Amino acid sequence: MNPLPRPDLRTRFTPLWHLLRDEKRWPLARLALLMLLTAVAEGVGLLLLVPIIDQVQLGTASANPLVNHLVQGMHWLGIPAGLGGLLLVFLGLVAVREILRFQRDTETLRLQTQVIDHHRTRCFERIMRAEWVLVSAKPHAYYSNMLITDINRIGQGLRFALNALSTLMLMLISLVAALALSPIMTLVALVSVLVLLAVLGKFRAQATALGHDLSGSNRAIHGCVQESLNGLKLAKLLAGETRLLDRFRHGIADLRRRQLQFQRGSAAASAGLQLGGATLLVLFLYGGVRIWHVPLAELAVLALILARLLPLFSGLHQNTLQWLHALPAAQDILALQRTHRIAAEPAPPPAGSRWPVRHDILVDNVSVQYDARQQPALDRVRILLPAGRITAITGPSGAGKSTLVDVLTGLIVPTSGSIRIDGVLLQPEQRLHWRRAVACVQQDTFLFNTSIRENLLWARPDATDADLHEALVRAAADFVLTLPTGLDTVTGDRGVQLSGGERQRIALARALLVQPSLLILDEATSALDAQNEQRIATVLERLRGQITVLIISHRSALLKRADQVVELEQGRVRTTIDHRHPAVMT
């Protein structure tokens, strides 16, 4: 296990304030008021036990000034201060306390769910809006664990933290009641309990450390599940199902081991607090009778208050441990929101805004340097894409083709150099505007697990069925129209119900629905047979003069259709061949 951290009070409870600070003030104030009123009703009820016991025992009034004030208050309200009146008031206070407690618990649950829904939505929005460089560097399991498991842990921790606050208020009011009866005995008992809590301090540090370990174990489980499902086909082909199962079992065992460690520590702390509390209660009663000679009625109520305080102290300690156990998840969630807010993309442009290309798109001495690589992915690349023409990019793996696509789609900002559209510099804050004018069909085509119609409408929500049919025909995907349920055919998870070639043709139809100024095909025909690839080539031929097209491909059928072919090698332009002027090669 990692070395136990020693967080201070600010580190422990500042995240709690950050979780709550965006909530409306009135619900928070209402919850705090309910906590206070519940505690006050409890304290007043305890004090009323003194005159009740006196009436039962002696039939006389108490000698305690505060208790006498309560009795006088009953007289002022016209309530008889005899045994019957005292019992009725006590019963009324218990009823009021329970009503307040019900309202308090309801408000606590409402606040808990609001906070969790708010932060889950905010995290998801931060991820959606963040720069692609940041998001793509994290595994999917990292985000899924954050949005599901860690957020749920925070919800549980928040409930325990609010319970701790309510318990603290109840303890303070009970201590006020005890101080009113016997300041000396109360202070002695309080100091003793604080010493006991200090002795148990190591369990609080252990809870925080185990919380960090649990976050790591949860991420490992999410990663194992996602990777196993994504690689299940390969595992079956390689007879590796047992290895995947062993990895999953190991992850589950590690998770349970850490959970049991926390439960054992929590149970040990609770047992120590209960044993120490019982010892203090015995000494407290002995001192009250033999040393301080406290009247029997007051001693009985003091003993009752202390007996109630001990489980309250225990509950406060357990609630604090549970919050500290969830604290690492809260810190991680808040850190995610902070880093992804800083790395947010520019604000999106108004819907329907266009960016036509009339002359050319210039990749002007663009370089891209990734932190994890010594050699730049792109090194002073200069490529001119004439408007309405087809440009093909070829080159070996690692030449920088995918990075060039990310630059042209505005997913990443070049380390140096620029993109110019019709001679106008593409500013970083304009990238989302430009991205609306770009459509990209990738080699690894993604389809949502819904109907073909819904997948197509992601490109243009207002498209009619006639528009969808036209796009399918242009993309050589008119096979969809012959399916039994046509456009309403469900594609399955990631389009698993369709072949690779069918998925790519549907993705091309979706891209054409965007009506882009720049269409990028990133190895988009790699899964097509020769006949369908020829149909795509014919489609591109028809697009010549209407849309600027960039093809990433090694397939000769497409390269022959290109107006120019640019070869990349190790992030640099090696050669450029202009098919319109075959003698021109740079």
Task: Say if 586 falls within a structural domain.
Answer: no
Task: Say if 569 falls within a structural domain.
Answer: yes
Q: What is the pLDDT of residue 555?
A: 75
Task: Say if 24 falls within a structural domain.
Answer: yes
CATH of the domain at 525: 3.40.50.300
CATH of the domain at 131: 1.20.1560.10
430 & 559 share domain: yes
Q: What is the pLDDT of residue 584?
A: 46
Range of the domain at 202: 15-342
pLDDT at 585 over 50: no
pLDDT at 59 over 90: no
78 & 188 share domain: yes
pLDDT at 586 over 50: no
Q: List, for residues 88-119, the tens digit of each pLDDT value.
A: 777 877 888 889 989 999 999 999 999 999 99
Q: List, for residues 122-134, the tens digit of each pLDDT value.
A: 999 999 889 888 8
The CA dihedral of 250, 254, 260, 265, to the nearest 10 degrees, is 160
320 & 374 share domain: no
500 & 371 share domain: yes
Tally of domains in the chain: 2
329 & 364 share domain: no
335 & 364 share domain: no
416 & 496 share domain: yes
CB 350 within 8 A of CB 541: no
Task: Say if 584 falls within a structural domain.
Answer: no
505 & 383 share domain: yes
Out of 32-41, 262-271, 408-417, least confident range:
262-271
Helix axes 183-199, 201-230, angle to 10 degrees: 40
CB atoms within 10 A of CB 95: 11
518 & 423 share domain: yes
- Token duo for residue 547: 């849309």
Buried b (16+ CB within 10 A) or exposed e, 528-557: beeebbebbbebbeebeeebbbbbbbebee
Last residue of a domain, one of 342, 374, 396: 342
Task: Say if 4 falls within a structural domain.
Answer: no
Q: What is the pLDDT of residue 137?
A: 85
294 & 376 share domain: no
Task: Say if 493 falls within a structural domain.
Answer: yes
Q: What mean pLDDT is reported for the chain?
A: 80
| Neighbour-count burial of 228, counting CB atoms closer than 10 A to its CB (0-12 exposed, 13-18 middle, 19+ buried) | middle
Task: Say if 7 falls within a structural domain.
Answer: no
Q: List, for residues 421-479, the tens digit of each pLDDT value.
A: 999 999 888 888 898 889 988 877 888 888 999 999 988 888 899 999 999 988 888 88
| Neighbour-count burial of 72, counting CB atoms closer than 10 A to its CB (0-12 exposed, 13-18 middle, 19+ buried) | exposed
Q: What is the pLDDT of residue 583?
A: 46
pTM, to two decimals: 0.77
237 & 365 share domain: no
- Token duo for residue 422: 């019709």
